[in-house]
Amino acid sequence: MNMIFLLIGFSILLALLFLLAFFWASKSGQHDDLYTPGVRILFEEEKPSETRIEQKSDEDHPFT
């Protein structure tokens, strides 16, 4: 049963890690703007130019 001491210690440590992750997120301003990132993620990735696309597609399918 003494295992429980160890397990509780680990679980608290793990929880502390999440708390620290939250502190970091809060400090880096991730909770300041909760709206714009949700819109931003929906924008299409712009393709820089036509030639780049062709090159890239070649790399993607080396056997064709």
**Interface contacts to other proteins, rule CB under 8 A:** 1, 4-5, 8, 12, 15-16, 19, 22-23, 26-27, 31-33, 35-36, 39-40, 42-44, 46
Find out whether 47 and 53 touch, Cβ atoms under 8 Å: yes
As measured in angstroms, the least distance from the Cβ of 60 to other proteins is 24
Q: Pick between residue 12 and residue 53 the one whose CB is nearest to other proteins.
A: 12
Integer Cα distance of 35 and 33 in angstroms: 6
Q: What one-letter code names the amino acid at 46?
A: E
Integer Cα distance of 18 and 25 in angstroms: 10
As measured in angstroms, the least distance from the Cβ of 33 to other proteins is 5
